[in-house]
Amino acid sequence: MVGTRSDLAYSIGFLSRSLENPSTEDIIKVKRVFRYIAGTTNIGIVYCPNANNGALDCYNDADFGGCNKTGLSTLGVIVTHAGGAISWLSQRQSMVATSTTEAEIVAANEAAKEIIWLSRLFRSIGKLKHIAILQIDNQAAVKLTQNPEFHRRTQKNFYPIFYLKNFLHQIVTSDEK
């Protein structure tokens, strides 16, 4: 199901955490997802060849400490091409974030990895006409990728910041060629 329905990625990932020992509340949530699926069987991904001039658009987001049991944040990434989703993921982050900015940096880092892979794939088949666009909705995360400043609060997530800064530099310089 998740292979063709990006709108279910978060729900399926969240519910799969309690597969071994589901509670009554978990079963109610699964039934709610099934009702949603039954009511939306006519919904699908639509692609428009002229949408966005052939660019890849990538959107990412993260919650902050969304898991009540572990404090781990969940990230989500979706990449679109020709107006429709071509890649998406929703997963728990491997480390507990100490701020919203840190959770967003980790999400943007995963998004950058996905864009790099898809950009290489699209370039190899000659379908990428414009640079990929990475959308980051957290202004502090954006500022850190543009000008990483080392201090105690950013110490833990400094390598993902450098990865993103390098990614952004590669995109800008490849566009200038």
Does residue 44 belong to any structural domain of this protein? no
CATH number, domain of 144, equals 3.30.420
Structural contact between residues 93 and 106, judged by C-beta atoms closer than 8 angstroms = yes
- Positive or negative CA dihedral for 106, 141, 77, 63? positive
Predicted confidence at residue 160, as pLDDT, reads 62
Q: What is the pLDDT along the chain (177 residues), one digit of tens a residue?
A: 344 677 887 888 888 888 888 999 999 999 999 999 889 888 878 888 777 677 888 999 999 888 778 889 999 999 998 888 889 888 888 888 888 888 888 898 899 889 889 988 888 887 777 777 888 888 888 877 776 665 555 555 555 666 666 666 555 444 444
Say if residue 76 is in the same domain as residue 162: yes
Does residue 45 belong to any structural domain of this protein? no
pTM (predicted TM-score): 0.71
Number of independent structural domains in the chain? 2
What end-to-end distance do the CA atoms of the chain give, in Å? Answer: 41
Say if residue 12 is in the same domain as residue 56: no
User: What single-letter DSSP state applies at residue 128?
Assistant: -
